[in-house]
């Protein structure tokens, strides 16, 4: 069975500081991995996705993520956080780019001015 | 493109009433998903369709829940009878091959 663990329920950073959100997955084959962001009262927006190839993927809004197969991890990073990045972030795993996804519990990001 | 359109945005109903949530996927997308989001359980996949055919409904909590997709441009999720524990945000999403998912803005359901 596939699963995703996001160890941090809530993270607080100062504006301009760097950010890393952790994601560990369990999947029996080559995974498709995703990061989504959800602002209050909104749906989920895709930040980036990993299918194959280069293990460092770039996404929108200055985010990047690195796939580490040996650690079953797909951590999200941003070098300098903006106040507008405050939201909830979800990591997800699936067997294809378009099929069933399993989501982590989410990490709430608070940004202090 | 208008994206995935869900209606209503908010629904408040009394326990025992029937509730119908609606979704219009993006034109050309051949997969449609219904998810439920709660604080306790996070995002759960309820059911998904491929080319209007239900593929996996193992996430549907019980017989009170049913979903249909009569054509490529419309899907419904029905709860009958509704219970307070059904209160959640219900998301519809559609996808097509490598383009990945697009989520709707969700329907916030409150059953009192």
pLDDT in tens, B42-85: 999 999 999 999 999 999 988 999 999 999 999 999 999 999 99
Residues listed for chain A: 113
- Determine contact: B70 vs chain A, CB below 8 A: no
- Own/partner pairs, B9-12, CB within 8 angstroms, 24+ separation: B9/B105, B9/B106, B9/B107, B9/B108, B10/B107, B10/B108, B10/B110, B11/B107, B11/B108, B11/B109, B11/B110, B12/B110, B12/B111, B12/B112
pLDDT in tens, A60-98: 999 999 999 999 999 999 999 999 999 999 999 988 777
The reported pLDDT for the residue numbered B103 is 92
Of A41, A42, A98, the CB nearest to B100: A98
Of B31, B95, B106, the CB nearest to A43: B106
Of B56, B97, B102, the CB nearest to A97: B97
pLDDT at B9 over 70: yes
**For an interface test with A, which of B10, B100, B106, B107 has the most A Cβ atoms less than 10 Å from its Cβ?**
B100
Give the number of beta-carbon pairs within 8 Å between A and B: 53
């Amino acid at each position: 069975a596939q699963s995703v663990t996001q160890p941090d329920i809530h993270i607080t950073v100062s504006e301009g500081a760097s950010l890393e959100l952790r994601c560990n997955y369990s999947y029996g084959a080559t995974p498709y991995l995703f990061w989504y962001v959800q602002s209050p009262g909104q749906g989920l927006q895709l930040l980036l996705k990993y299918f194959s190839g280069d293990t460092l993927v770039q996404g929108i809004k200055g985010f990047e993520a690195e796939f580490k197969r040996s650690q079953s991890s797909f951590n999200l990073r941003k070098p300098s956080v903006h106040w507008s990045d405050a939201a909830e972030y979800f990591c997800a795993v699936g067997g294809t780019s378009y099929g069933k996804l399993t989501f982590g519990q989410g990490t709430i990001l608070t940004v202090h001015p | 493109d208008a994206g995935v359109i869900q209606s209503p945005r908010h629904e408040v109903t009394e326990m025992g009433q029937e509730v119908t949530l609606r979704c219009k996927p993006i034109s050309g997308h051949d997969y449609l998903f219904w998810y439920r989001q709660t604080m306790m359980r996070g995002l759960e996949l309820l059911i998904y369709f491929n080319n209007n055919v239900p593929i996996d409904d193992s996430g549907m909590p019980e017989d009170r829940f049913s979903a249909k997709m009569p054509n490529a441009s419309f899907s419904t999720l029905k709860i009958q009878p509704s219970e307070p524990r059904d209160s959640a945000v219900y998301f519809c999403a559609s996808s097509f091959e490598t383009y990945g998912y697009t989520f709707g803005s969700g329907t916030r359901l409150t059953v009192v």
